Amino acid sequence: MERISKILSAHGVASRREAERMILAGRVTVGGITAQLGQSAECHEIAIDGKPLTPQGEFVYIMLNKPRGYVTTMRDERGRKTVRELVAGVGTRVYPAGRLDINSEGLLIMTNDGRFANAVTHPSHNKAKTYRVRVRGDITGAEESLSRPMEIDLHMTRPASVRLLRRTEDGGIFLIRIHEGRNRQIRKMCEQCGLAVESLKRVSIGELKLGTLKSGQWRHLTEAEVEGFVKGL
């Protein structure tokens, strides 16, 4: 048997120091009993937040509702909060398939399967991404303007699908569907149209919808959802 903190570190769940903090917080159990700092155990006995530690070598696919204020990386040298902190309970190391900037929120897929991550992110697989965007500014003609191809970072975007959900006192709320997902693309599109983004939330990728998943929470993808991304590859 090995110390729990060492096992969690080996699985990529957390560093040893982070694992010790999880144990002290009562998030780790061994055989259903709250673990103690310095305790040893077998992998199959360990659970985090009530979820069993995932065996090494097993592929895992999850969706996370990323809150604002978190960076889409596993470590941040500037000390900012990362999505890794939100998915420690997955029980193994998973990586983001795509990104959402620190001020954006919503659907983020995470996995340890590189082939699947490529199916999610590569433009050739044509997985459209849909965002609910609240903007400030004059939205007259904005649906048409945002729908047109525009040059973003020396790249001409494909036409977007844009629908005005409702007007607000200082702007409006749009549903914007794009196919590329270049760095901060939606924000740059809005900026070119004279609009300032106040909030941005990704609500779907392909046929996968965020649904009622609460901010900061995650769930495993179903077999059908996974197959929907990889079929035809």
Identify the pLDDT of residue 190.
Answer: 97
- Residue 129 makes CB contacts below 8 A (sequence gap 6+) with 177, 178, 179, 181, 202, 204, 205
**pLDDT by residue (tens digit) across 134-156?**
999 999 999 999 999 999 988 89
Span 110-114, average pLDDT: 91
What is the DSSP-derived secondary structure letter of residue 96? E
The whole-angstrom separation of Cα 43 and Cα 220 is 20
Query: Which residue would you say has higher pLDDT here, 14 or 8?
Result: 8
User: Which domains does the chain show, CATH number per domain?
Assistant: 1-53 (3.10.290.10), 57-125+208-233 (3.30.70.580), 128-205 (3.30.70.1560)
Residue indicated by tokens 């969706």: 63
Residues assigned a catalytic role? 101
Residue 136 φ then ψ, to 5°: -115, 135
**pLDDT by residue (tens digit) across 71-103?**
998 888 898 999 999 998 888 889 999 899 999
The whole-angstrom separation of Cα 205 and Cα 98 is 11
The listed range with the strongest mean pLDDT (27-36, 42-51, 122-131, 223-232) is: 27-36
Identify the pLDDT of residue 233.
Answer: 52
Identify the pLDDT of residue 232.
Answer: 53
The whole-angstrom separation of Cα 84 and Cα 95 is 8
Q: Is pLDDT above 80 for 181?
A: no
Spell out where 105-209 has E strands. 105-111, 129-136, 151-152, 155-156, 161-168, 171-178, 196-205, 208-209
The whole-angstrom separation of Cα 134 and Cα 169 is 11
How many C-beta atoms surround the C-beta of residue 189 within 10 A?
24
The whole-angstrom separation of Cα 197 and Cα 202 is 13
- Residue 23 makes CB contacts below 8 A (sequence gap 6+) with 4, 5, 35, 36, 37, 39
pTM of model > 0.75 = yes
CA–chain centroid gap for 35, Å, is: 29
Identify the pLDDT of residue 44.
Answer: 80
**pLDDT by residue (tens digit) across 26-78?**
999 999 999 999 999 888 889 888 888 877 768 999 999 999 999 998 888 89
